[in-house]
Structure 1
Amino acid sequence: MNLKVKLSGHYYQFKSVKEVLAKANEQKSGDQLAGIGAANAQERIAAKVVLSQLTLSDLYNHPAVDYDQAEVTRIIIDDLDTRVYSQIAAWTVTQLREWLLAPDTTNEMIHQISRGLTSEMIAAVCKLMTNLDLITAASKIINEKTANTTIGRPGTFSSRLQPNHPTDNLSGIMASTMEGLSMGIGDAVIGLNPVSDTVSSVTNILNAFDRFVTRWQVPTQTCVLAHVTTQMAAIEKGAPSGLIFQSIAGSQKANTAFGIDAHLIDSANKLGQQALKNSGPNVMYFETGQGSELSANANFDADQVTMEARCYGFARHYDPFIVNTVVGFIGPEYLYDAKQVTRAGLEDHFMGKLSGLAMGCDVCYTNHMQADQNDIENLALLLANAGCTYIMGVPQADDVMLNYQSTGYQETAAIRQLLNKRPIAEFDQWLEKMGISKNGRLTDRAGDATLFLERELIK
């Protein structure tokens, strides 16, 4: 295994595979904050050259966190299809990249090898790709998952309706829900981030969602994004949830900071299989985001892209319905500006899809970041061309509870029209029945929440 290279008369010697991975990463403020990023463009190129010549077996033998130190590593390694891995172990990272981008490499072929790839291999090939490469490769991959409905089918572009409220007021929540549905938003999930992480509050919101969805026969899933233990307690007492949510990370130490471990997520997954009234087998919803491990001092000197890839290796063990990266939520300490947010969004989406996930993105930024709404719309459109499964639908793109900027209702509608995409089939049919859309285009009734206005539903 060669970890050195001579470029333009200068020798670059790297100490480990982990250092090569970190310094081959595109510039990220989080890596600079951690002191592990490349010192300059020349060193970054040198690291990419060395990385390109490493084999997949080199990456298998050098995980970002040792096997005996982290259950995330053990899950990633133990889930590996050793038969598939043995067939590609001698490939270099360059060969993997060229194979993924080759015109005759199909979705079926990619699925055949994806179970033979560790997260470090997926992160490595990501680092050798341009933004257009990431879009091209991701667009080939189709990952379908089923809860009440099936997400990820070709020709669809979905959204999570996020009707957050700063006081968890049910009237406010349901007003935003009605407005979003009237714009064709919410086919992926109606999912609220609660202010109050209590069983009673979560139950009240889930009951309000359930009454509405049942009354109007909305074909979707509902979820309240409280801590997984709160959701489990509510579900065990009969709360009508459609998915079980949890934020996850790429190391055991970072997951501990979230108050979770593999055993807890396994228990939640089993509860979902038993208690949720879904027609399909996929019951979990995970969120990730570059920088979360560093923010918990749990990145083990690995770069944020590699740690993010490990999130997806952990996630796929539970075969979730959906996963999304909250790409700009943590702030400029980890992704400084629009250029870094755009790159991270495309990286995360590609890595998640190559890991076999129905991958979405919360295309977002904080108000102290060097980005604006035009940048977010640019990324949303790039992701849609890459085959992104879903994005967020936040009232006016301004989350008044979490205090960050995301995508609103209009972005999804515009992208569907521009790229000739449709919502999930059952939801699409429901929109037509309600007169909200006709032949896949919104009607003049779209955006009128009074379509659903019934007093008993918003008390």
Structure 2
Amino acid sequence: MSGEDLKTLLAKASPARSGDFLAEIAAATRQERVKAQRQLADTTLGAILEAPLIDPEEDDVSALILRQHDADSFRPIAGWSVGEMREWLLSDDATPPAIAALKWALTPEMVAAIAKICRNQDLIAIARKRPVVTAFRTTVGLPGRLSVRIQPNHPTDDPRGVAASIVDGLAFGCGDAVIGINPATDSPSAMRRLLELIEELRLRLGCPVQSCVLAHVTTAIDAMNRAAPVDLVFQSVAGSQKANASFGISLAMLKEAHDAARGLRRGTVGDNVMYFETGQGSALSANAHHGMDQQTMEARAYAVAREFDPLLVNTVVGFIGPEYLYDGKEIIRAGLEDHFCGKLLGVPMGVDVCYTNHAEADQDDMDNLLTLLAVAGVNFVMGVPGSDDVMLNYQSTSFHDAAYVRRVLGLRPSPEFETWLMDAGIFNREGFLNPADGSLMLAARAQLLEAAE
């Protein structure tokens, strides 16, 4: 099988989504899709490895995928078909350590192929068996725990508005993944002001959290050179060299930032210092998908991410719009696929459970996806005030949503952060918001606001 043949087969086998129709690569009928899925299920993993979808001499992501591949751990499964791998992953033989041992044997194209022949419940059941644990000041990804990124964006980066959102999130037990701000202005001075705001708040509260200002990686490198308090370095990444170039980045640039951030040694319980964001459709929107379906291209982005041992990887699943994921059904499927593929590749996956206001989706769809992902063992989700991001102008999940899913599924924050929440009186010793009438939580919020002034 040639790379072009495999590319076509993967696209035809992919569950329907608007982006693949936009790219004119999707199966035209359900019958064509099922036929492709059956053929893909019979394709061996070895055949997939031998058919690069983009020439590695022309694409550094393809070259990276081949460099990462561990031939020794792959050899015992090289003759397995995609269908046989799916059956094994669903079996009791596929224990968490056994799945983790295949991290460098599996390529993005392989896990994308497996995902295409899985039902949603398969994606959930398999991903749940593959925890990926990382750490900086908190430990993220432990089984039975769910972390939350506080996303305190403000249209003008107003310090009081940002601080109020942070405090509100902390009072609901959020923030253990990261306090991450999308800046209104991508400049070293704006980045430094926001970092110093979070740093002062963190130190005054004695709160074990990490900060990130989601500016371009070159801005972060400049900020580190100027001794700004950088915890995590952010960058959007994609699954081809051309798509990453559209973001203004290269693999060498990411390595420079990674090494600089690690050199600061600001972590207390770990040294995972990178935060990456991805999303199905980003390569297509940059005309850098090389004729590849958007789910396979998304999985390739995780090869870039895992090269740099990130603390967090976040697929912003419905953010790009209905041209790529049309409705709630497509967004739910994509979120489960991304989480599944990331986990099999050893990536610490979180999901921004989100949609834009012109998509055929609503908050009920997001409730469904949030719950499904929490069952699947997602590392973290977003905490946005009121679930409505007033700067990026899209709908995500709120602090209340995080409290809901933790409560109904018995999930807890990261251990370091949970201890602080209890000591601060925000959580009781049973791990719930303290108490039911909210009086102590309101008192804690008042104390946090006072500290933020």
TM-score w.r.t. structure 2 length? 0.97
Q: Within 5 A, what are the aligned runs for 1:214-363?
A: 214-279=203-268, 280-363=270-353
CA distance in 2: counterparts of 1:48 and 1:69, whole angstroms: 29
- Match of residue 381 from structure 1: 371
**Pairwise CA distance, 1:130:** 0.4
SS in 2 for 1:238: coil
SS in 2 for 1:114: coil
Q: Within 5 A, what are the aligned runs for 1:64-143?
A: 64-143=53-132
**Pairwise CA distance, 1:128:** 0.6
CA distance in 2: counterparts of 1:367 and 1:283, whole angstroms: 33
Cα 1:248–1:220, aligned 2, differ >3 Å: closer, same or farther? same
CA distance in 2: counterparts of 1:194 and 1:281, whole angstroms: 24
CA distance in 2: counterparts of 1:97 and 1:321, whole angstroms: 28
SS in 1 for 2:168: helix
8 Å Cα contact 1:23/1:37 also seen in 2:
yes
Q: How many residues align?
A: 446
The residue type paired with residue 287 of structure 1 is E
CA deviation profile, 1:298-345 (whole Å, cap 9, x unmatched): 000000010000011111111111101000000000000000000000
CA distance in 2: counterparts of 1:245 and 1:152, whole angstroms: 19
8 Å Cα contact 2:44/2:79 also seen in 1:
yes
TM-score w.r.t. structure 1 length? 0.95
Stretch of structure 1 that moved more, 256-265 or 442-451? 442-451
CA distance in 1: counterparts of 2:70 and 2:5, whole angstroms: 26
8 Å Cα contact 1:365/1:405 also seen in 2:
yes
8 Å Cα contact 2:265/2:271 also seen in 1:
no
SS in 2 for 1:307: helix
- Match of residue 451 from structure 1: 447
Question: Identity rate of aligned residues, in percent?
Answer: 49
- Match of residue 205 from structure 1: 194
CA distance in 1: counterparts of 2:448 and 2:125, whole angstroms: 41
CA distance in 2: counterparts of 1:57 and 1:67, whole angstroms: 17
CA distance in 1: counterparts of 2:138 and 2:385, whole angstroms: 24
The residue type paired with residue 408 of structure 1 is S
CA distance in 2: counterparts of 1:325 and 1:447, whole angstroms: 33
SS in 2 for 1:16: helix
8 Å Cα contact 1:329/1:364 also seen in 2:
yes
CA RMSD of aligned residues (A): 1.3
8 Å Cα contact 2:125/2:376 also seen in 1:
yes
CA distance in 1: counterparts of 2:103 and 2:258, whole angstroms: 23
**Pairwise CA distance, 1:281:** 2.1
8 Å Cα contact 1:182/1:451 also seen in 2:
no
- Match of residue 440 from structure 1: 431
8 Å Cα contact 2:4/2:53 also seen in 1:
no
- Match of residue 5 from structure 2: 16
SS in 2 for 1:69: coil
- Match of residue 141 from structure 2: 152
CA distance in 2: counterparts of 1:207 and 1:166, whole angstroms: 18
**Pairwise CA distance, 1:447:** 5.7
SS in 1 for 2:333: helix
CA distance in 2: counterparts of 1:414 and 1:316, whole angstroms: 31
CA deviation profile, 1:360-388 (whole Å, cap 9, x unmatched): 00000000000001110110000000000
**Pairwise CA distance, 1:68:** 1.0
CA distance in 2: counterparts of 1:276 and 1:36, whole angstroms: 46
CA deviation profile, 1:38-84 (whole Å, cap 9, x unmatched): 00100000100110111111111112212111101111110111101
- Match of residue 11 from structure 1: none
CA distance in 2: counterparts of 1:65 and 1:345, whole angstroms: 25
CA distance in 1: counterparts of 2:349 and 2:235, whole angstroms: 15
Cα 1:15–1:221, aligned 2, differ >3 Å: closer, same or farther? closer
8 Å Cα contact 1:180/1:447 also seen in 2:
no
**Pairwise CA distance, 1:114:** 2.2
SS in 2 for 1:254: helix
SS in 2 for 1:417: helix
CA distance in 2: counterparts of 1:109 and 1:92, whole angstroms: 18
- Match of residue 39 from structure 2: 50
The residue type paired with residue 234 of structure 1 is A
Moved segments of 4+, more than 6 Å: none
Among candidates 163, 174, 193, match of residue 152 of structure 2: 163
**Pairwise CA distance, 1:446:** 3.0
**Pairwise CA distance, 1:245:** 0.5
- Match of residue 7 from structure 1: none
Cα 1:184–1:294, aligned 2, differ >3 Å: closer, same or farther? same
Among candidates 154, 167, 172, match of residue 178 of structure 1: 167
Name structure 1 gaps, 5 residues minimum: 4-13
CA deviation profile, 1:74-108 (whole Å, cap 9, x unmatched): 11110111101122111110111011111231000
The residue type paired with residue 228 of structure 1 is V
The residue type paired with residue 168 of structure 1 is D
**Pairwise CA distance, 1:451:** 2.4
8 Å Cα contact 2:172/2:433 also seen in 1:
yes
8 Å Cα contact 1:241/1:276 also seen in 2:
no
**Pairwise CA distance, 1:115:** 1.1
8 Å Cα contact 2:11/2:26 also seen in 1:
yes
Among candidates 194, 219, 231, match of residue 183 of structure 2: 194
The answer to whether residue 397 in structure 2 is matched with residue 407 in structure 1 is yes
The residue type paired with residue 446 of structure 1 is M
